[in-house]
């Protein structure tokens, strides 16, 4: 791991990370484990079991769960298993989501619109609902949602609408649960460099038009960043783990853009 590790920052904490088989979710889980946390990695890809095994071989306390978080039953089962592992959940990082198709809105079919919202809003809605009774019983806990600055971006309107919902959920839920000592916060990543995905979110660009539409996203993402570049996985994980930690104990209801100056 190239970024600085804050030794002991999560010692004694039970942390559940969704979408943890690769990308930002994996980087967050690995960082928290390196900082002393006991992590439960949740993903619908079987790959998550291999990832957890690799973390354990490195000395981490890591457990893996496969679940379809687009359905409430899957979210509830995953949260229940995570709690059973440690008797509590101190932090939930909701990282499931991602653009499936990239094109102007008039080219989306109704089924594609529904699928985008199902992928990028409902897993966060469901897992928040599933974990709340446990956190309220504890009178403590932190939820970190991973949103996106693409709420203001081209060729991803259904995804943008879903992530706008994540922002609203973060703000509204924070108001409701502060009385129980629970914080709800979010980051809004911008474009992020990452290795090729081992499990694809959706079909790759097939036609020259598909490729042009995707390139428009890249161009707009870089152009909107004051730093004129994509971020790194470590830069995204640093913001998420900060908000998840006790260092951010006086922050709730906020969405932190992590996009080189693009506010979304």
Got the DSSP string for 202-250? SPPP-SHHHHHHHHHHHHHHHHH-TT-S-B-HHHHHHHHHHHHSGGGTT
Distances (CA, A) of 205 to 10, 192, 197: 40, 19, 14
Options 105, 108, 134, 159, the catalytic residue? 159
**Cα(222)–Cα(151) distance, integer angstroms:** 15
Tokens 């879903």 found at: 162
Got the DSSP string for 122-160? HHHHHHHHHHHHHHHHHT-EEEEEE--GGGG-SS-HHHH
CB 15 within 8 A of CB 244: yes
214 is a catalytic site residue = no
Known catalytic residues are 159
């Amino acid at each position: 791991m190239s970024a600085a590790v804050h030794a002991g920052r999560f010692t004694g904490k039970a942390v559940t990370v969704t979408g943890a088989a690769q990308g930002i979710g994996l980087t967050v889980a690995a960082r928290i484990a390196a900082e002393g946390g006991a992590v439960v990695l949740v993903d619908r890809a079987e790959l998550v079991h291999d990832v957890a095994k690799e973390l354990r071989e490195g000395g981490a306390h890591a457990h893996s769960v496969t679940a379809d978080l687009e359905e409430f039953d899957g979210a509830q089962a995953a949260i229940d298993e995570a709690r059973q592992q440690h008797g509590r959940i101190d932090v939930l990082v909701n990282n499931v989501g991602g653009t499936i198709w990239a094109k102007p809105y008039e080219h989306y079919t109704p089924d594609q619109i529904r699928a985008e919202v199902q992928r990028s809003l409902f897993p966060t809605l469901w897992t928040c609902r599933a974990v709340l009774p446990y956190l309220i019983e504890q009178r403590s806990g932190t939820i970190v949602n991973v949103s996106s600055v693409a709420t203001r971006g081209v060729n991803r309107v259904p995804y943008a609408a879903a992530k706008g919902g994540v922002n609203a959920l973060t703000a509204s839920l924070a108001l409701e649960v502060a009385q129980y000592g629970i914080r709800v916060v979010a980051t809004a990543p911008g474009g992020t460099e990452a290795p090729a995905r081992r499990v694809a979110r959706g079909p790759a660009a097939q036609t020259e038009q598909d490729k042009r539409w995707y390139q428009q996203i890249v161009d707009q993402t870089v152009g909107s960043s004051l730093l004129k570049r994509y971020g790194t996985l470590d830069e995204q994980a640093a913001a998420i783990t900060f908000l998840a930690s006790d260092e951010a104990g006086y922050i709730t209801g906020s969405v932190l853009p992590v996009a080189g100056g693009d506010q979304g």
